[in-house]
Structure 1
Amino acid sequence: MARLHAVDGVPPRRVDGPWQLVVTAPGACAGPGDAASLSGWIPAEVPGTAAAALRAAGLWSEAAPTPLHGSDVWYRTTLSLDGRESLRFEGLATLAEIWVDGTLRLETRSMFLAYAVEVDGAGTVELALCFRALQVALARPNRRGRWRPRLATPGSLRHVRTSLLGFMPGWCPAVDAVGPYRPVTRTALGAGVPRVLSADLRAELDGGTGRLRLRLALADVRGSRLTLRCAGAAAVIEADAAGCFAGEVLIPDVAPWWPHTHGEPRLHPVEAEIDGHVLALGRVGFRTIALGRPFAEGLSLTVNGVPVFCRGACWTPADLVGHSAEACRPLLALAQEAGMNMLRVSGITLYEADAFYDLCDERGILVFQDLMLANFDYPIDDPAFRDRLLAEIDGFLDRTQASPALCVLCGGSEVAQQAAMLGFPRDAWTGGLSDDVLAARVARLRPDLVVVPNSPSGGDLPFSTDAGLAHYYGVGAYRRPLEDARRAEVGFASECLAFANVPDAATLREADLCDPASPGWAATVPRDRGADWEFEQVRDHYIQDLFGLDPETLRRDDPDRYCALARAASAEVMEAVFAEWRRARSPTAGGLVWFFRDLAPGIGWGVVDAAGRPKSAWYALKRAFRPVQVTISDEGLNGLHLHVHNETAAPLSAVLRLVFSDAEGRAVAKAERAVAVAPRSSGTWSSATLLGRFFDATGSYRFGPMAHALAHASLVDADADAVLAESFHFPQGRDPAPRPVGLAAAIEPGAAGPVLRVSADRHALCVRIETEAGARPADDGFHLAPGASRRIALVGGGNPHGIVRAVNTNEIVKF
C-alpha cells in the first residue's frame, strides 16, 4: 500500500535498540537461548549490516573483507510493551528468523520483501533475529538452469532472492550483505489510533488538472466521513458499506512535476483526516509518462507530453557495506548538478531505500528501475519462487506508489541477452514473467509507468542497438571509432560507455595508487570474467586514438602525463558521444553511463569515485548534459552543424558564435548571429549559413592545406555577457604536443564565494584544476579557445589554492 508517513504528526517508531550481534558457526545455535550464552556480542546499528558493525568494532575492513555468508549472525534487543503492537521489518538479508521471547515467529526467504509480526503484552520482551548462513542454502542440490552465466557465482544464486552484490568477481568487492539493512519499526495497535489496512493513492495529470484518487481501508472505523487534502484543494469522502473510503480530489491548474532539466519537480503534500486524526500520506507529483514512439524503434519517453532526452548513469549503492539510506543524499546532489535526469537501478544491485526515491522526487531525477533479476535462468516455473517474486514486485510498487520520479519498470538485466548470446532459440528469451505478467501487475498497481521486458531487449536480438533498449558498448568496450555512435543508430542506451575511469590525484594518493604500472593499480581495474581484455585497455585504446600517443610508453616513462591523458580520454569520448546523440536528427532518446559511483577505491567504472569525488568523466557529462547546450557535428561535405538545445520552460534568446582558428590561435573565419529557440526544443544552423559563404569547415574538400586547427562554437547571453555553453571541433585531431599557450589563473571574489579565472593566449586542451584545502572546481577538464577566459566557481569554501595545467603545455600555474 502507499506509505503512511505519520498519524497525527507521529511517524512509526524505529526499534533502535540498543542492538547487539554475535557471529557463530552455521547451525551452532538452534535458538536465541543458545546464542545468549555466547561471548563476543558487539554493539550493532539497525538499520545496518553485520559488516558495518564488525567494522565499527575493528573486526572487519574493506581492504580484506571477512566472508559472512558462511556464518550465522544473531541480533538481539529488548522492547518495552504496553499492549499490542505490529513490528515491521523492511529488509532482512537474507535467510532470516524472527524470534520473540524465545519463540520462532517467522522465517524469511527474501531480502527484498518486508515482513510484519504482531506482539502483545506488558513489560519487557526480547526480540532476536538470526541470519542463517547463505552458503549452506546455496550448497543444497537444486535444479540447474538452462545456462550458467559468468557474471556471478555460484549458479544456485538463481534460486535465492538476494542481491548479486558481493558475488560478482571483477565487478564488485566481496562484501557480504547480512543483517537488518532496512529499518525495523513498531506501531501501536491500541484503541483510539486509526489503523490503516490498505491505502491506494494515485496522482494523475489530466490536462492542467491534478486528479488525486484515494482508496483507504481502516480497521475499527468510527467516523463515516474522510477529508482528503492536497495542494489547497479538499474533498469529503463517504465510507462505503465495508468501511472503505474511495474518492478523489481535483486540483485545477496544478503545478506539474518535471524532470529538473525541463522544469520544476513540484511536489504536493497529501493528508487524510478522519475522526479528528490526520494521516500523512507523503507527497505526490502530477505528471504523465508515455512512450514517444513504438518500443521496437527504441525506448523514448515523453513527460507531460514533451519528449525528454534521458541521460544519467546506472546507480550503484551509496554505501556498499552498511547500506545507509542517507548515504545517497550527497551523491544524488552530484547527479543533479551534472544535469542527469535519469538513474537506472540495475538488476545486479538491490531495490533502494525509500529515501532514494523520495530524494529523486525532490530533485527531479527520473528512476529507471529493474527487477532484481540478472543473467540467470531463474526458476519462474517454481511456484514458491514465483510467489516470492510477485510479492516482491507488489511490495516495491506499493511503497513507491506516490513517487513521480519512478517512470520505467524493467524485467531485469541481461537475462534475455545471456540466453541469446549462448545460442538459445527465441522462445528461451522472450515471454515468461517479464513479458506476460509484469505488465499486468503494473497496470493494476502503477498504471502510469512504462514497462519494458528486459535490458537490453526489443530487437531481432536482445542486444541489437537500434531497437528497444540497448547496452551500447560500440564506442567503449568494443573499441569502435567515435563515428560508430551515429552508425549504430542507438534508440536508447540503458547502459553505455564503460571505462576504467582514473580518479583525481588526491584519491590516488589516499589509495596508494600513484603508479599506473603497479600490480595494485591493475587489481582495481574492473573486468568481465572470461574476457581476454580489461577496461583499462579500452580506455588506453582511446588515448592512442584521440591523442596519437602510445599509452604503454607513457605509463612507463611519464606516469603523471599518462594519468592526465587517461582522464582526458574518458572525458572526451563521453562528451563526444552525447553530443552526437543529442542532435535533432539522432534516433537516440537516452543514454545511461555504466556506473555512477565506484564500488571500491581504484580505477573503476564510476564517474564518481568511491569517496564521492567527481572524476573527469563526471565533469564531461556535466558539460554534455546542460539543459541549454550547443554542440557541433561534422557533416562532411555539408560542413559543420551547430545544434542549440533549450530544454527549459523559458524561450531562449542568445547569440551563437563560431570561430575557426589556426594552430597559432589566429582567427581565420568567424561569424555570429542572434538565435531564438522555443522552450523545450532545438535548432540547427550550418557553418555555411552562419558564415554566409563557402569555407571548408570539415576539411572534406581538400583544396589545399587546411586553414584551421580548431572550430569553437559558443552560445552567449548578450545581456549578461556570459557564455551559456560552448563546444569544440578538431578537424586535424587533438594535438597534445606541449607548447606555450599562455596559461594563467587567479582567484577572484564571486557572489557565492571565490572563483578562479583561467585564461590562455592560445588553445588550451583539457585544462585541469587541482585544488587543495577541500575545494573542488565547478568544471574541470574543459578546453579554452585562443584568447578566452573562464570564471570557475570553487565549491567547498575555505581559502582554496592549487595548480592549473593543460595536456598540451608544460606550463603549471599556481593559484
Structure 2
Amino acid sequence: MLILDLCGKWQLLGIPQEEAKKLSIAKLPSEGWIEARVPGVVHLDLMATGKIPNPFFRINEKLVSWVEDFDWVYKREFEIRDGILNKDATELVFDGLDTFASIWVNGEHVGDVQNMFVQHRFDVKNFLRKGVNSLVVWFKSPKVVLEERLSKSDTKLKAAFYPPVVYGRKAQYSFGWDWGPRLPSVGIWKGVRLEALEVARIEDIHVRVKLIENLAKATVSIALTAYKEALCDLKLKLIGYDKVLVKKLHLQNGRNDAEFELEISDPELWWPSGYGKQKLYVIEVSLSQGPVELERKSVRFGVRKVELVQEQDDEGKSFIIKINDVPVFCKGANWVPADSFLPRVDRETYDRLLSLAKEANMNMLRVWGGGIYEDDAFYDLCDEKGIMIWQDFMFACGEYPESEWFLALVRDEAEKVVRRLRNHPSVVIWCGNNENDWGYRDRWWGDRERFFGESIYHKVLPEVCGALDPDRPYWPSSPYGGEHPNSQREGDRHSWEVWSLFRDYTEYRRDNGRFVSEFGFQALPSLETIKGFTLPEDRWPQSLVIEHHNKQTGGNERLYYFLSAHFKVPSTIEGFCEMTQINQGEALKVGIEHWRSRKFKTSGSLIWQLNDCWPVSSWSLVDYAHRKKAAYYYVKRMFAPVLVVLMKDDGMIRSYVVNDSLEGFSAELEIKGLTLNGKFLKSVSEEVSIPPNASVKVMDVELEELGISDTFNELVVAELWRGGKSLATSTCLLERPKHLKLPRAKAKVKLERVNHEGTLFRATVTSKAFIKSAHLRVRGVEAEFEDNYFDVIPGIPKVVYIRTPKRFITKLPKVELKDVTSYA
C-alpha cells in the first residue's frame, strides 16, 4: 500500500447563501480564499487568519454566529506519480467530514456525505491523472440543510436546544447545550489521504475471546476487500508469544472473510482500575502475495468477560456490571467532547483528562450521546488505564426520524462504530440513547401518538450489536428500566431532582436508584480560567460575561440559591468561585456516600460531568483549562477504595465502612465528638470485620454518647484503624456550615523538600481547631496538589504532596492556606 497524506495546508472560502445558489465548482472565484489547516474546522482557520475573534472570550460567541449561515469550500492541489496510478485501486479516505459535503477531484464529482461520525472512502482511480490534481470539498451550511429538512417534514420532530439537529448526523452539542456554546462548525475535522492498494486490503479484524477456566479461546475474524482474484497468504502473529498461524486464501473480487482460532493458556486478564492489571495482547495480521507483503495491521485486545446482571431482589431488580465474574461498583463521571472545536483535542488532551479521572479513583466514564464517538486514542488510553466505558450511541434528548433513508444511515453508522470499538476491553456496555425513552414517557415533546426514534434504539441498534458484538451488553437508553424509564427500582437512573427541581442536596439520601448514571451540581470554573476569558471589569459574580458563560437557564441564580442554603455568600469573584466549588463538592459527597453505602443495592455512581468543551460555569469536576475544581478533590476522596461514611439521622450518627478491594480485613472504627475549637468530648469504638467488595453498616451512635450538646459548636469525627495505621477518616457537621461558629483558620503548614530537583514538596497541615475545606496555594505558580479542599481535624496531621512546575532549590516556595471563613 502507498499512502499520500493530504493533511496540512489547504485553501478555504466562505460563500453566503445567495451566492452559493448561483455558484458551481467550475465558477468558484479566484479571490477571497484564506489559508486553512487540515485536520481542522472553519472557526479555527478564521481565528488564525484574524477574520473572527476568539469565540470563547467574553461574549464573542454572538459575534461569530454568521459563520453557520455560510457554505464553506476547501481546496488543494497534490501531485500524483506513476507508483500510485499503477496500483489496482486508489481510494480517497476521509476519517471525518463535518457534515454535509460534496467531494470533487479534478472537477469531477466523486461523492456526497452526510455523517460526521464515520470514515468515508471513495474509489478515485479513474478520476486521477499523472502530475498535478485538484481536490475540492464543498460543505453546505448545516443550519440551512437541517432547517430545510425540518420544514419539509410532515411531523415536526422536537428536541432540546435546537430541534433541527435530529434530521442529520452531526454532534448535537455543537448547536449549544446547557453547558456549551452554539458554535456549529464545518470542516475536514480528521485526517485525509490517498491509499493506493494492490490486490487487496485488510478491512477489519475482530478478536472474540471466550474465557474457559484457565484457557482463553480467541476467534479472530478478518474481513478483506479484494480488487481482483488472487492467491494470497494471510498470517496471524500473537506478539510476544510463539504463536504464528498462516492461511492460504483464494481471494475473489469484493468482500472476503477468513478466521483463525487461537488459544492462550493461563492468560493474564484485563481488569478495571483498582481490581487488577490491564493486560493487553497484540495480534498482528499481514497479507502477502508471494514474497511481497501487501498490508500489515495490528490490533490490541484484552482477555476479559463482561456481564450485566439484573436479578430480582427486595428493592426491585439489580443492575450490576460484572467483570471476570466479579461485581464492580462503577465509580466515575460522564464525558462530553473536550472542545467545541474538535481538531484541538489530541492524545495529550485525552491523556491529561483520563489520567485525572484515574487519579480520582474512577473506573468508568460514560461517553454521552449528544457528543461524538471519540478518537481511537481515547479508547486506547482507557484500555491502558483500566477505565471502563459506557458507550452511548449519538442520540440525545430528542425525537428522531424513522424514514427508510435515515434508518439506513443510522445502521451504517452503528456498524462502522461497533466494528471500530469492539476490540477495546474498556468498552463494557453499548447504550442506545440519552434520555429519549424518558422524554417520550414524560411527554417532554407533547402528546405523541408514537415514539419517534423507537425503532432505532429498540430494533436497529440491538440488531447491529447482536450481530457484530454479541458478547457485550446492549442497553436501550439511559435512563431505562422498570415501569418508568427513570425508576429507582431497576435499570439505570438520572438523579436530577436536586439540581433541576431546586431540592436541597441532602435529598440525595432519598434516592435509592440501582445505578445512578447521571447526577450533578454546578460551580464556577477556577479563577485563573475566568481570567482567560474576561477583562478585569467582568470579574464580579453577576457580570454579563460571567452570566453568559453559564448556559443553563437561570444557572447563575441557581448557584446563589444553592450556595446560600449552606454557606455564606461572598461578593467577590474569587470568593464566589471558591465557595460554589466547595458547595459542589459537599453536594456530590452526600450523593456518593449514600450510594456507596448501599453497595450493591446501588451499583454505580457516575457524576455529570468530568470535563468541559469551553470555559464555563457547569457541572464539571475539571474545567476547560484542565484545572481541578474543589469538587474534584472531594470526589477523589469519596471514591477511595476504603471509605468511612457518617450520616446524621434524628439525633443519631449512622456509620458505614465501604471496601472496594477484593480482600477483607479487620479494623477498629472510632467515632468521637469534638468542639470546633478542638476540645475532645467522648468517643466510642467497635471492632469490625470488613468483607471484600462490600459495604458494612457498623454502628448507630446517639449524639449524647459522643458528648454532643451544642450542635452549632461541635462535630463528629470517625477514624478507621488497622494495626495502628489510620485507613480512613470522615467528618460529620451537625448543622449547616453557614450557621456554625467556625473559628478563623490558624493552621500550621510545615513544608519539606522531597526531591533534589526542588519540584516535589511535602506539606504537613495541623491545627488546634477544626478547619472546614482548607485549601493550599503556592504563591506565584500553578502547582499540582495530591489533595486539597480537605477538612483539618484537630489532632490529626494532614499530609499533602505538592508538585511545582518551577524549581525551588535554594529556598522553599511560599504556601498559603485558606478555608471557608476566608471569604465570609
Aligned partner letter, 2:158? R
Show the counterpart of 2:269. Answer: 256
Q: Does the alignment pair 1:222 with 2:231? A: yes
Show the counterpart of 2:7. Answer: 16
1:175 to 1:146, Cα distance in 2 relative to 1, 3 A: closer
Show the counterpart of 1:93. Answer: 98
1:167 to 1:225, Cα distance in 2 relative to 1, 3 A: closer
* Alignment check: 8 A CA contact 1:231 1:251 kept: no
Structure 1 residue 580: deviation in Å?
Answer: 0.7
Show the counterpart of 1:433. Answer: 456
Tell me the distance in 1 between the aligned counterparts of 2:822 and 2:47. 45
Show the counterpart of 2:549. Answer: 524
Counterpart pick for 1:54 among 29, 32, 46: 46
Tell me the distance in 1 between the aligned counterparts of 2:270 and 2:600. 27
Alignment TM-score, normalising by the size of structure 2: 0.87
Structure 1 residue 540: deviation in Å?
Answer: 3.3
Q: Does the alignment pair 1:212 with 2:218? A: yes
Show the counterpart of 1:420. Answer: 441
Tell me the distance in 1 between the aligned counterparts of 2:586 and 2:769. 20
Tell me the distance in 1 between the aligned counterparts of 2:144 and 2:93. 27
Identity of aligned residues (%): 24
Residue 395 of structure 2 aligns to a residue whose secondary structure is: coil
* Alignment check: 8 A CA contact 1:741 1:761 kept: no
Counterpart pick for 2:419 among 391, 394, 398: 398
What value does the CA root-mean-square deviation take over the aligned residues? Answer: 3.0
Show the counterpart of 2:432. Answer: 411
1:390 to 1:678, Cα distance in 2 relative to 1, 3 A: same
The 5 A counterparts of 1:397-546 are: 397-422=418-443, 424=447, 428=451, 431-499=454-522, 501-512=523-534, 513-528=538-553, 534-546=554-566
Structure 1 residue 730: deviation in Å?
Answer: 1.6
Show the counterpart of 2:354. Answer: 332
Tell me the distance in 2 between the aligned counterparts of 1:785 and 1:48. 51
Structure 1 residue 584: deviation in Å?
Answer: 4.0
- Map Cα deviations across residues 150-174 of structure 1 (whole Å, 9 max, x no partner): x222x33222111112323644212
* Alignment check: 8 A CA contact 1:739 1:809 kept: no
The total of aligned residue pairs comes to: 773
1:525 to 1:186, Cα distance in 2 relative to 1, 3 A: same
Show the counterpart of 1:765. Answer: 772
Residue 565 of structure 2 aligns to a residue whose secondary structure is: helix
Q: Does the alignment pair 1:300 with 2:320? A: yes
Structure 1 residue 494: deviation in Å?
Answer: 2.0
Structure 1 residue 707: deviation in Å?
Answer: 11
Tell me the distance in 1 between the aligned counterparts of 2:115 and 2:573. 47
1:670 to 1:698, Cα distance in 2 relative to 1, 3 A: closer
* Alignment check: 8 A CA contact 2:103 2:135 kept: yes
Counterpart pick for 2:27 among 30, 34, 50: 34
Counterpart pick for 2:729 among 708, 726, 737: 726
Residue 616 of structure 2 aligns to a residue whose secondary structure is: coil
1:136 to 1:255, Cα distance in 2 relative to 1, 3 A: same
Residue 399 of structure 2 aligns to a residue whose secondary structure is: coil
Range moving further from structure 2, 470-479 or 573-582: 470-479
* Alignment check: 8 A CA contact 1:761 1:788 kept: no
* Alignment check: 8 A CA contact 1:96 1:129 kept: yes
* Alignment check: 8 A CA contact 1:737 1:808 kept: no
Tell me the distance in 2 between the aligned counterparts of 1:505 and 1:433. 43
Show the counterpart of 2:719. Answer: 714
- Map Cα deviations across residues 138-161 of structure 1 (whole Å, 9 max, x no partner): 332321546523x222x3322211
* Alignment check: 8 A CA contact 2:118 2:416 kept: yes
Range moving further from structure 2, 335-344 or 113-122: 113-122
Structure 1 residue 251: deviation in Å?
Answer: 0.9
Show the counterpart of 1:73. Answer: 72
Tell me the distance in 2 between the aligned counterparts of 1:303 and 1:118. 43
Counterpart pick for 1:108 among 95, 108, 113: 113
Residue 45 of structure 1 aligns to a residue whose secondary structure is: strand
* Alignment check: 8 A CA contact 1:17 1:77 kept: no
Tell me the distance in 2 between the aligned counterparts of 1:505 and 1:368. 32
Structure 1 residue 292: deviation in Å?
Answer: 2.4
- Map Cα deviations across residues 68-118 of structure 1 (whole Å, 9 max, x no partner): 331111112233333242221111111101111111100111112321012
Structure 1 residue 389: deviation in Å?
Answer: 0.6
Aligned partner letter, 1:805? K
Counterpart pick for 1:142 among 146, 152, 168: 152
Tell me the distance in 2 between the aligned counterparts of 1:230 and 1:248. 15
Range moving further from structure 2, 421-430 or 454-463: 421-430
Tell me the distance in 2 between the aligned counterparts of 1:430 and 1:321. 28
- Map Cα deviations across residues 230-259 of structure 1 (whole Å, 9 max, x no partner): 562525253466674212211122111111
Range moving further from structure 2, 793-802 or 104-113: 793-802
Structure 1 residue 596: deviation in Å?
Answer: 1.8
Q: Does the alignment pair 1:291 with 2:314? A: no
Structure 1 residue 298: deviation in Å?
Answer: 5.5
Structure 1 residue 706: deviation in Å?
Answer: 6.1
Aligned partner letter, 1:78? E
Residue 393 of structure 1 aligns to a residue whose secondary structure is: helix
The 5 A counterparts of 1:332-351 are: 332-351=354-373
* Alignment check: 8 A CA contact 1:628 1:645 kept: yes
- Map Cα deviations across residues 623-646 of structure 1 (whole Å, 9 max, x no partner): 111223332234657742131313
Aligned partner letter, 2:211? L
Tell me the distance in 2 between the aligned counterparts of 1:30 and 1:202. 51
Structure 1 residue 613: deviation in Å?
Answer: 0.8
Aligned partner letter, 1:518? S
1:539 to 1:464, Cα distance in 2 relative to 1, 3 A: farther
1:223 to 1:651, Cα distance in 2 relative to 1, 3 A: farther
Residue 504 of structure 2 aligns to a residue whose secondary structure is: coil
Residue 500 of structure 2 aligns to a residue whose secondary structure is: coil
1:224 to 1:323, Cα distance in 2 relative to 1, 3 A: closer
Tell me the distance in 2 between the aligned counterparts of 1:51 and 1:405. 33
Range moving further from structure 2, 429-438 or 518-527: 429-438
Aligned partner letter, 2:422? Q
Aligned partner letter, 1:271? E
Counterpart pick for 1:627 among 629, 632, 641: 641
Tell me the distance in 1 between the aligned counterparts of 2:130 and 2:642. 63
Residue 158 of structure 2 aligns to a residue whose secondary structure is: coil
Tell me the distance in 2 between the aligned counterparts of 1:322 and 1:108. 19
Show the counterpart of 1:128. Answer: 136
Aligned partner letter, 2:515? F
- Map Cα deviations across residues 687-739 of structure 1 (whole Å, 9 max, x no partner): 56xxxxx764699xx9x6669822222345657x5x54322112344355452
Residue 76 of structure 1 aligns to a residue whose secondary structure is: strand
* Alignment check: 8 A CA contact 2:400 2:453 kept: no
Gaps of 5+ in 2: none
Residue 200 of structure 1 aligns to a residue whose secondary structure is: strand
Gaps of 5+ in 1: 1-6, 529-533, 689-693
Tell me the distance in 1 between the aligned counterparts of 2:609 and 2:655. 31
Show the counterpart of 1:318. Answer: 338
Residue 379 of structure 1 aligns to a residue whose secondary structure is: coil
Show the counterpart of 1:118. Answer: 123
Structure 1 residue 587: deviation in Å?
Answer: 2.5
Structure 1 residue 185: deviation in Å?
Answer: 3.0
* Alignment check: 8 A CA contact 2:383 2:425 kept: yes
1:801 to 1:264, Cα distance in 2 relative to 1, 3 A: farther
Q: Does the alignment pair 1:781 with 2:798? A: no
Residue 69 of structure 2 aligns to a residue whose secondary structure is: coil
Structure 1 residue 618: deviation in Å?
Answer: 1.4
Structure 1 residue 394: deviation in Å?
Answer: 0.6
Q: Does the alignment pair 1:582 with 2:596? A: yes
Structure 1 residue 568: deviation in Å?
Answer: 1.5
Tell me the distance in 1 between the aligned counterparts of 2:822 and 2:741. 7
Show the counterpart of 1:691. Answer: none
Tell me the distance in 2 between the aligned counterparts of 1:112 and 1:537. 36
